[in-house]
Amino acid sequence: MYLAKIYVTLKTTVNDPQGLTVKGGLHTLGFDNVQSVRMGKYMEVRLGETDGSKAEEQVREMCRKLLANPVIEDFRFELEEIKG
């Protein structure tokens, strides 16, 4: 079994209004040294797969087909084998 930790973020060329709002909120709270904030998504997916390369390919396909919008988002993931 594998655990995929998936990070989806906006591409650097895409405006991030949510990140700008959070940055403004942090400044309001006195965190004036915050220069930028980029928002994203974090997901954990458990796979009942025994082959690490197959699990990796499945996660990549999940991200390409559903979890990330390839037009405006990038993704990366870490794959961890779960014993037991």
Question: Which residues have C-beta within 8 Å of that of residue 34, sequence separation ≥ 6?
Answer: 23, 26, 27
HEC sequence for the chain: CEEEEEEEEECCCCCCHHHHHHHHHHHHCCCCCCCCCCCEEEEEEEECCCCHHHHHHHHHHHHHHHHCCCCCEEEEEEEEECCC
Residue 6 is which amino acid? I
pLDDT score, position 84: 67
- pTM confidence score: 0.86
Q: Structural domains in the chain?
A: 2-81 (3.30.1280.10)
* pLDDT tens digit sequence for 44-71: 999 999 999 999 999 999 999 999 999 9
